[in-house]
Structure 1
């Protein structure tokens, strides 16, 4: 029994062969709070819209929470350095650059009904303001002509979503402002406003221009997202063409929020595209990211001809590729899916490319658009949380993403700018995918791992997918590793409930032992289950009173088999454990006796320490020990081992022996090998019979997480 979706196209198999020469790979990540310098860095920062100086050596991004533009030195792109922030006296919304002069849209509005803004002109190196042009309203997007002759500003005058049922039809109306550039400086006296009312079928009296771009001939393309409309404007301000962005019918999508399952079997019809970002591909064609707002969002992207005809629409193919990479955001699934929001276009090595940013999935799709009617998805790149803006620097073979989400208040990862390099190298991501499987397999939140043979592993997902507990079969003979099958874990033929599967081990036959971590507050018990090869639970082992009386939330995080004994690693201290000591619990399948030993944890400087996995190999049990920290705060992500001759369980309720652990491997170098920040949840470890170890991280179901899953092999751990 597997989750199925029929009628998949051959495009869904593209990621299976994604490792190839000439690829983008992330080479560095820059946390934006470093630009604060010696000030308090424990405040929210955000990288949103980003641009580069003409020489490609300096990045400039807007930071709305701080009211600044941030600058980054990328002379060495593998080691970006902070150049500090520049206060712009309002909310920066967009930035464009000519040479080393930045043109910044600044929102100074006092209210939705009294919008205002300005165009600030800044010297990137010194931060000095060279000019300031008052704008007729709230600026959203900025584009600079390729010849540096003028700048276009989308004056959105966005609606108040708390009024009028959040609909458009709230004045004052938006417009398009054009300002000439003389000697590199905006000439404010040349500002003209292009009236965009009475064009769209949706709220013609209230256009809300969202995004602008300018082609080499000086034509401006404008998206009016909420109005589901596109406008082509000449450099003189004359409207050359306008048309509806149209609608799309979608089949085979997941359109239900917080169901705890990835089920792509629903449909939505006549969805307005409601495009957000737009970029010209050439002087006659442009691409849009169809994020949606009021009524739409088609989960994909589109190529238009300037005459309004559609050349290509991705339909569900972009979203399906993201599903297969494990980045589908189930908790925000109802209307926008992966939420394509950003678009960048550029030519690398004579190949015209479109880069599509999926905000909710935190991924970047790289498309070869040599054939505009049949784009080819070349790669999917991992980004930080909430990619908002991109800039391509073909002269340096670089692509840069600005990721706006900063989880400082929740102790999570910070906002980042990430740099990717295009080179003669294999793609390093994704490391694991379900592309190439016979059916569409959605996956995420991988926890426990176990080996079946030298080429086959199994993994389980945790309680994030509470209505879809699954055992995934993984072929590790391929690169990237391929999920080939998803077997639902069932009771009586229905998806099993009240499970939080955190560990899995082979029973030596065709079935598995699964450790489930309990949640007392949710009536989820700590327990051990035997699962048959078809996924059906055919036996349950509940905890004895000696453990139930001292239980806490953080329970079994791994399970392994040593002879007739099951060994489970408890993640954190329970009520009767001394600080820094956690139980390794034993259950003898023959005698049904329980016992335990104590394992000494490292002492964390920040947060807490715990165990994530246990696996027996030869004369040892190996364990994953980690702190709960992420990014620069992460200090301990390691593999240790304990000799089996110490694994002699004492009866529960009495004094337990303390084992001696041996350090085996620091995993932080592996976790930073792809240029990203250190992920917090290293969850799965196993050995194949030939001695190769595999490690996997848990992506939390892409909930306040970038969705990135790292899956890698380690050699020589048992030497």
Structure 2
């Protein structure tokens, strides 16, 4: 729909690159403007699922993008100012297992997270030379490796092994985190969560979710995304469906702590939402409900001498043939004391259309709901990496930015709103800059995180349909000599490259 606008913006930026490129000098000495990113290249790889997660290799100057539209493969893209993005022969992984879920690059080695043909069986990480595209190693990991990343020093490959159940919910593998030590001949240690079973009552009292039918805590935990500290010693892993973060010691190979994330109180003005897709308007308001944050992506950053985590609080549900926790509020019996205006709330123009969980909320066990719990924070959180305490939550402000830009999709008001899914943090001009992918707004929200207690909004950047992968390339490793943002959009199969203007 916005093709002509993107092409014009891309052409302008490419002209600027030709006249302003300082690649021979390494870094351009001018200051980059984090409030004005522009698209400089785009490539359509197909339809839905043709572009999911991307990684960039500065040695080969190639972008690697997961493409599962037809057969599992990893696209190989090259960028130049003269030709834009050019697709080369892909890496076909269809004979190696099931779907490719994620990619990461370090020191000329591409790591591909590959689930097994039987999704509940153990998956693998395939390591490929980024220049020759030859497979160097295949390492077994846990069930359904959903995300893969390298430690900053290149020593470790870490995967979040989601361990989802089958559709009938009769086979539910344990969730796990796999640590591969490259320096020890790619030895692997897969960590599971049985040790935390004795803590489940305390964890649940603080907002940890444990609700899969007949599932132990180790089975119910589904690791989603990993970030690693700059010294490569610790990792933090989102446990999305459990509404928690796991802290992991990479050196000793141990899960140290689980941090329950609590709930967002929508009765507070700062947390107002629009819960209806049937009210013919976009209106943020307070309601007598709570929502779980349920983060997807997570990224580490440093600011003011401290270490922090930023999470994209997307929300997720379990909706299988054998078990479905979802229900619309209009279908539930509400406790008349807790909700004296229950009939009004169940109106489709109010809360009636909102999707909540059936797994929790009947606090007295009498068959009606005393508390209502929805899915997703509809924003982002900043968490102290040392204590696990939330330092900041965006509340309604992120959705307000999207509404003001005319990008809010009211058809998603009943179900997770703008749905922040991906996040990465890059350093620009010595400052931590966050890029948050909003799946239902088709946009990237850019924030300066220099003050973790008060992030500063910089730009809302339109993208392809349903951006999932956001990958930052520092200016010193970029083929243009400027910072780059690579965005992979699952809905329309596009890869787009953006870079900032100069001040």
1:262: how far off?
Answer: 1.9
Distance apart, 1:78 and its partner CA: 7.2
Q: Provide the C-alpha distance between the structure 1 equivalents of 2:166 and 2:459, rounded to a whole number of angstroms.
A: 38
- The equivalent of 2:485 in structure 1 is 399
> How far is the alpha carbon of 1:343 from its aligned partner?
0.4
1:417 maps to which residue?
A: 495
Q: Separation in 2 of the partners of 1:52 and 1:27? A: 16
Structure with bigger helix share is: 2
Flag the 1:229–1:180 CA change in 2: closer, same or farther, 3 A. Answer: same
Offset at residue 22 of structure 1 (A): 5.8
Q: Does 1:61 align with 2:65?
A: yes
Q: Please report how far the alpha carbon of residue 110 of structure 1 lies from its aligned counterpart in structure 2 after TM superposition.
A: 1.5
CA RMSD in angstroms, aligned pairs only: 2.1
1:709 is matched with: none
Give the aligned partner of residue 256 of structure 2. 240
- Residue 45 to residue 359, structure 1, CA distance change in 2 (3 Å): closer
Higher radius of gyration, 1 or 2: 1
Alpha-carbon offset, residue 150 of structure 1: 0.6
Deviation at 1:259, TM superposition (A): 4.2
Q: RCO (CA 8 Å, sep 6+): is it higher in 1 or 2?
A: 2
Deviation at 1:368, TM superposition (A): 0.4
Tell me, yes or no, if structure 1 residue 131 matches structure 2 residue 153: no
User: 1:267 and 2:347 equivalent?
Assistant: no
Q: 1:175 to 1:77 in 2, by over 3 A?
A: farther
Choose the corresponding residue for 2:39, options 14, 26, 37.
26
Offset at residue 158 of structure 1 (A): 1.4
Checking the alignment, whether the CA contact within 8 Å between 1:32 and 1:45 is kept in structure 2 is no
Alignment of 1:114-513 (within 5 A): 114-160=120-166, 163=169, 171-182=172-183, 187-188=185-186, 190-197=187-194, 198=197, 201=204, 202-203=209-210, 204-205=217-218, 206-218=220-232, 219-235=234-250, 236-250=252-266, 251-267=271-287, 269-282=289-302, 284-294=307-317, 295-306=374-385, 307-395=387-475, 396-406=482-492, 415-424=493-502
- C-alpha distance 373-87 of structure 1, shift in aligned 2 (>3 A): same
The alignment partner of 2:399 has SS state of helix
CA distance in 2, matches of 1:387, 1:45: 11
Offset at residue 252 of structure 1 (A)? 3.2
Contact 1:69-1:86 at 8 Å conserved across structures: yes
Match of 2:400, SS state, is helix
Cα pair 2:221 2:239 within 8 Å, conserved: yes
Separation (CA, whole Å) in 2 of partners of 1:293 and 1:49 = 19
Instruction: Confirm or deny: 8 A CA contact 1:398 1:420 kept in the other structure.
Output: yes
Instruction: Tell me by how many angstroms 1:378 deviates.
Output: 0.5
* Structure 1 residues 453-481: Cα deviation after superposition (integer angstroms, max 9, x where no partner): xxxxxxxxxxxxxxxxxxxxxxxxxxxxx
Give the TM-score normalised by the residue count of structure 2. Answer: 0.71
Q: Deviations over 1:388-430 (max 9, x none)?
A: 0111112231111100113xxxxxxxx11111111216xxxxx
Structure 1 length-normalised TM:
0.50
**Residues 373 and 85 (structure 1), Cα distance of their counterparts in 2 relative to 1, 3 Å cut:** same
Q: Secondary structure at the match of 2:433?
A: strand
Preserved CA contact (<8 Å) 1:27 1:78: no
State which of 47, 52, 56 in structure 1 corresponds to 2:51: 47
Structure 1 distance, partners of 2:432, 2:247, is 22
Q: Which residue of the other structure, out of 62, 75, 91, is the alignment partner of 2:80? A: 75
1:476-625 → structure 2 map (5 Å cutoff): none
C-alpha spacing 1:135/1:238, structure 2 compared with 1 (3 Å): closer
Structure 1 residues 125 and 192: alpha-carbon distance in aligned structure 2, compared to 1, 3 A threshold = same
Q: Is the 8 A contact 1:28 1:418 kept in 2?
A: yes
Following the alignment from structure 1 to structure 2, what is the Cα–Cα distance between the partners of residues 146 and 171?
Answer: 33
Q: Is contact 1:77–1:419 with CA below 8 Å preserved after alignment?
A: no
What is the number of equivalent residue pairs in this alignment? 378
- Structure-2 change in CA distance of 1:178 and 1:259 (3 Å): same
Confirm or deny: 8 A CA contact 1:149 1:181 kept in the other structure.
Answer: yes
Separation (CA, whole Å) in 1 of partners of 2:152 and 2:255: 20
**Deviation of 1:171 (Å):** 2.4
Residues 32-82 of structure 1, C-alpha deviations (whole Å, 9 max, x = no match): 14xxxxxxxxx7651111111134821111112230011111233871111
TM-aligned CA deviation for residue 264 of structure 1: 2.5
| Maintained 8 Å contact 2:122/2:144 | yes
Q: CA deviation at 1:100?
A: 2.1
Per the alignment, do residues 121 and 77 of structure 1 end up closer, same or farther by CA in structure 2, a change over 3 Å counting? farther
Is the Cα–Cα contact under 8 Å of residues 60 and 108 in structure 2 kept in the other structure? no
Q: Which secondary structure does the structure 1 equivalent of 2:182 belong to?
A: strand
Q: Report the CA distance between 1:108 and its aligned residue.
A: 1.4
- Decide whether aligned partners of structure 1 residues 78 and 258 sit closer, same or farther in structure 2, where only a CA change above 3 A counts: farther
Partner of 1:692: none
C-alpha separation in 2, matches of 1:224 and 1:241: 12
1:346 and 1:392 in contact (8 A); partners too: yes
Contact kept in structure 2, 1:119 and 1:132, CA below 8 Å: yes
Q: Show CA shifts across 1:341-394 (max 9, x none).
A: 000001111121111110011110100011010000100000000100111112
Structure 2 residue 104 is the aligned partner of structure 1 residue 104: no
Gaps of 5+ in 1: 1-19, 34-42, 165-169, 407-414, 426-719
Q: Deviations over 1:169-218 (max 9, x none)?
A: x6221111100113xxx834x21111224365322242100111111122
What is the CA–CA distance in structure 2 between the aligned matches of 1:144 and 1:329, rounded to whole Å? 35
Moved over 3 A (4+): 159-164
**CA deviation string 1:618-644 (max 9, x = no partner):** xxxxxxxxxxxxxxxxxxxxxxxxxxx
Q: Which runs of 5+ in 2 are unaligned?
A: 1-32, 211-216, 318-373, 476-481
Post-superposition Cα deviations, 1:480-525, rounded to whole Å, max 9, x if no partner, equal: xxxxxxxxxxxxxxxxxxxxxxxxxxxxxxxxxxxxxxxxxxxxxx
Distance in structure 1 (CA, Å) of the matches to 2:222 and 2:142? 13
In 2, distance between residues paired with 1:213 and 1:91?
22
Q: CA deviation at 1:99?
A: 2.2
